[in-house]
Amino acid sequence: MDRGVVVTTSKSPSGVLRERAHGLAATWDLPVVERHRGSVATARGTAATVLVCTEEGLVAETAGGRLAFHQGTAAKRLRTLRHGGTDPLIRAGGLRPGDRVLDATLGLGRDALVAAWAVGADGEVLGVEADLVLAVLADDGFAGSVPRPGSAPVRVRHGDSRQVLAAAAAVGERVDVVLLDPMFTDPRASDHGFALARDHTVPTPLTPEWVELARAVARRSVVVTAERARPWFPDVGLERLEGTRSGRWFHATGGAQDAADGG
C-alpha cells in the first residue's frame, strides 16, 4: 500500500461518491481518509498527494496545487485532424486504423489520445506510466467520455515501461508502434496542467537501451519525442521527422518480427 497517496471525497459526499472513492482505493491499493467536513489539507495529512473524488471527477491535490485529467493540447491536435490536417505523431509512427500502440511514457495521455483517434475502434492503445498519481488520473479519465467515440480504448498500466517492454520482448509479444516521450528530461513550454504534472513524475533519462527495448517490441516503428537529438540517436536508427517546425520528433524502424514472418 502506497501511503504517499491517499483517497478522500469532497465534503458531504453522497453514498455513490463514497462508494466510488472506496472502489478507487481498492483498485489501486490505497488508503481511504473519510473527509467529513475537514479540509483537503487535513485529509492529506502527511501524505504527498490526496486523490479527491468529486461529482465533477477525480482531482489530485498536493501542497503545490491541484491536477485533474483533461485533454489539454491534445484537444487542438484532434480538432486539426478532424478538419483534415495532420499530426507529427501519426506521421512519425505511420499510424493507421487497427494498429496496436504502446505509449511507454503515458504521462497526461495527450499522445495516447491522438494515437487512439488514429488507430480507431479496431485498434488498441496501452499506456504505461511510472508515476502512480498520473496513472490513476489517466485511468479514471480514459474510463469516462475520453477518448471520443470511434477511437480505440486506452488501457492504463502503472509500472516501469522498460520492464514492461523487456517482458513483452521475452515472450514474443509485439505491437505496431511504441511511443517514447520522457517529457521531463528536457524543459519545454507547456500548458499549466502539464507544468503541475512535474510534481507527479518519475524523471527517467532517455537512453539507447530504452530505445532498443522499444525496437525489440515494435513491428513497424518507434517514435521518440525529444527537444534535441542525442549523439547516439544514429546508433539506434533514430532519424528526425522532416517537415515539423519544432523538429523534436524522431523515429526509428521497429526491429521486431513475428514468428510467422521469420523472426
Same structural domain for residues 51 and 155?
A: no
Q: What is the pLDDT of residue 216?
A: 97
Q: Is 206 in a helix, a strand, or coil?
A: coil
Please state the length of the chain.
Answer: 263
Same structural domain for residues 118 and 226?
A: yes
Residue-wise pLDDT tens for the chain (263 aa)? 666 999 999 998 999 999 999 999 999 999 999 988 889 999 999 999 999 999 999 999 998 889 999 888 899 999 999 999 999 999 999 999 999 999 999 998 999 999 999 999 999 999 999 999 999 999 999 998 778 889 999 999 999 999 999 999 999 999 999 999 986 444 444 444 555 566 666 778 999 999 999 999 999 999 999 988 999 999 999 999 987 665 689 999 998 654 435 44
Domain that holds residue 77: 73-261
Q: What is the pLDDT of residue 17?
A: 94
Same structural domain for residues 55 and 91?
A: no
Same structural domain for residues 110 and 212?
A: yes
Q: Which of 13, 39, 68 is the last residue of a domain?
A: 68
Question: Cα–Cα distance between 211 and 41 in angstroms, integer?
Answer: 41
Q: What is the pLDDT of residue 243?
A: 72
Q: Which of 50, 68, 86 is the last residue of a domain?
A: 68
Q: Is 255 in a helix, a strand, or coil?
A: coil
Same structural domain for residues 58 and 133?
A: no
Same structural domain for residues 13 and 117?
A: no
CA 34 to chain centre: 29
Q: Are strands 100-103 and 175-180 parallel, antiparallel or unpaired?
A: parallel
Q: What is the pLDDT of residue 227?
A: 86
Q: What is the pLDDT of residue 5?
A: 95
Question: Cα–Cα distance between 29 and 145 in angstroms, integer?
Answer: 25
Same structural domain for residues 172 and 102?
A: yes
Same structural domain for residues 84 and 113?
A: yes
Burial-class residue 136 by CB neighbours within 10 Å (0-12, 13-18, 19+): buried
Q: What is the pLDDT of residue 247?
A: 65
Q: What is the pLDDT of residue 63?
A: 87
Question: Cα–Cα distance between 29 and 15 in angstroms, integer?
Answer: 21
| Tally of structural domains, the chain | 2
Q: Which residues contact 147 (CB under 8 A, 6 or more apart)?
A: 113, 116, 117, 153, 154
Q: Which residues contact 95 (CB under 8 A, 6 or more apart)?
A: 89, 101, 115, 118, 119, 176, 177
Same structural domain for residues 244 and 157?
A: yes
State the pTM of this model.
0.89
Q: CATH no. for residue 106? A: 3.40.50.150
On whether the CB atoms of residues 93 and 250 are closer than 8 A, the answer is: no
Sign of CA dihedral 262, 236, 90, 74: positive
